[in-house]
Chains A and B, each alone.
Chain A
Amino acid sequence: MEHYSDDKLLSLFKNENSKSYAFDLIVRKYQERLYWHIRRMVISHEDADDVLQNSLIKAWKGLDKFKKEAQLYTWLYRIATNETLTFLNKKRKHFFISINDVERELNSTLETSDSYSGDEIQLKLQQAILTLPEKQRLVFNMKYYDEMKYEEISKILNTSVGGLKASYHHAVKKIEEFVKTN
């Protein structure tokens, strides 16, 4: 697979003859990062697959209007994040359940699912992350696992760097507390 820069991929996408090819390359370039970003939020593979597919279809529809002011991966992350949050909200509304119940459900998916093979300490970390509010969970995952800079996260979540730092600090504190008490 050829590795093109985002600019090259976007110019290929603008050309009607290479549009599909360019998008295929974009998907191949970013699918894994986006998948893990979504998967850590929704836990089950099936849900992550649905959300990722929706995100990529939205990206395909909206890429013509994409402005180069933002970076391509920032834009894709933002779509994936919005789709993930929409999915979790829908889940809550559909089953008339509270945020805590969604967390509980995600937790049980984590414990019973064959798709998670972490040891006890890893499982405890995941459980601790699930106790965080959605936005804090997003910030923690993006900073801790994806190792993104606050400035990058700020562009994706449309939140100030100061707010993100505070969010991450609180998230880490809560995780440590959870581990101590459980």
Chain B
Amino acid sequence: MNNNKNISPELENEHPFLDRVPKENHFNVPKNYFEVLPQVIQTKNLNNSKLLFLFDKLSYRILILVSAIAIALFVFISPSNTSIENELSSDQLCELIVDEDYIEFDDYLVYETYYEVLDEETELDENTASEADEYIDYLLENNIDINAIIDEL
């Protein structure tokens, strides 16, 4: 392959090295490579086509059948997801919790959870008591008889 005469004119002037190098192909290829290659490709393509054909016509149906069987087996044979809690009645569950220490509470967590509730209730009681004292003080200061009010009610 010698295409030296086809080198573009701009290369001849501006690129002396490329102009000097003949455009010859010096890569070697195994003997008969280009005679054998079409056969190799043909064989590979035919094998590929056969595989695809088999998959399309036969394996595709088998694959569906096998998948269906596998799903059915999974649904019917696989271990049930129901836990022990779902199988027990509520009374049995309570017994289990109480007797078997089924649920372990962290004391600190319980204290933390109920601390705010207890605190609010205590505050509420204190407020109620202080309000009653105020009412009594008001009645005493204004010399109002509590019994008379009760009678009127």
Seen from chain A, the residues whose Cβ lies within 8 Å of a Cβ on chain B are 20, 23-24, 27-28, 31-32, 35-36, 39-40, 45, 49, 52-53, 56-57, 60-61, 114-119, 121-122, 125, 144-145, 147, 172, 175-176, 179-180
Contact yes or no, A60 B17, CB < 8 A:
no
Q: Interface residues of A: mostly helix, strand, loop or mixed?
A: helix
Interface size on B, residues (CB 8 A): 29
Interface residues of B in 18-74 (CB under 8 A from A): 18, 20-21, 23-30, 33-34, 37-38, 40-42, 44-46, 48
Q: Kindly report which residue of chain A lies nearest to residue B35, judged by CB atoms.
A: A28
Contact yes or no, A57 B18, CB < 8 A:
no
Contact yes or no, B34 A32, CB < 8 A:
yes
Q: Kindly report which residue of chain A lies nearest to residue B37, judged by CB atoms.
A: A31
Contact yes or no, B21 A172, CB < 8 A:
no
Contact yes or no, A176 B17, CB < 8 A:
yes
Alpha-carbon distance A23/B49, docked complex (angstroms): 13
Contact yes or no, B34 A24, CB < 8 A:
no
A sample of 29 cross-chain residue pairs with beta-carbon separation below 8 angstroms, ordered by A number, consists of: A24-B38, A31-B38, A32-B34, A35-B29, A36-B27, A39-B27, A40-B27, A45-B27, A45-B28, A45-B33, A49-B33, A53-B41, A114-B28, A116-B26, A117-B26, A117-B28, A118-B26, A119-B26, A121-B20, A122-B24, A125-B17, A144-B18, A144-B23, A145-B23, A172-B18, A175-B15, A175-B18, A176-B15, A176-B16
Residues of A within 8 A of B17 (CB): 125, 175-176, 179-180
Alpha-carbon distance A27/B33, docked complex (angstroms): 13
Alpha-carbon distance A147/B2, docked complex (angstroms): 12
Contact yes or no, A23 B45, CB < 8 A:
yes
